[in-house]
Amino acid sequence: MNSKDTGQTDLQRVRETFDAWADRYDASVAKGGGVMEGYDRSRLRASRLASVHQGMLVTDIGIGTGAFAEIFAQQGAQITGVDLSPRMLEICAARHSEWQVFVGDFLHIPVTSASQDLVISSFAFHELAVADRAGAINECMRVLGSGGSFLLVDIMFEDLSRLQAARERLRDSWDEENYPLFPELSELAGQLSLEIRLEVLSDVHGAALLSRR
Ligand X SMILES: C[S@@+](CC[C@H](N)C(=O)[O-])C[C@H]1O[C@@H](n2cnc3c(N)ncnc32)[C@H](O)[C@@H]1O
Those residues whose C-beta lies under 8 Å from the C-beta of residue 136, and which sit 6 or more positions away, are 106, 107, 125, 128
Amino acid at 204: V
Candidates 61, 111, 151, 188; binder of ligand X (CB under 6 A) is: 61
Min dist. Cβ of residue 160 to ligand X (A)? 23
- Residue 64 DSSP SS3: coil
By CB under 6 A, tell whether 101 contacts ligand X: no
By CB under 6 A, tell whether 88 contacts ligand X: yes
Give the whole-angstrom CA distance, residue 54 versus residue 78. 8
DSSP 62: T
Residue 3 burial (CB count, 10 A): 8
By CB under 6 A, tell whether 128 contacts ligand X: yes
By CB under 6 A, tell whether 71 contacts ligand X: no
By CB under 6 A, tell whether 37 contacts ligand X: no
Give the whole-angstrom CA distance, residue 147 versus residue 170. 39
Candidates 72, 99, 123, 179; binder of ligand X (CB under 6 A) is: 123
Binding part of the chain for ligand X, among 124-132, 176-184, 185-193, 201-209 by CB under 6 A, reads 124-132
Candidates 84, 143, 188, 210; binder of ligand X (CB under 6 A) is: 84
- Terminal-residue alpha carbon distance, the chain: 33
Residues in touch with ligand X (CB under 6 A): 9, 14, 18, 29, 61-64, 67-68, 83-85, 88, 105-106, 122-124, 127-128
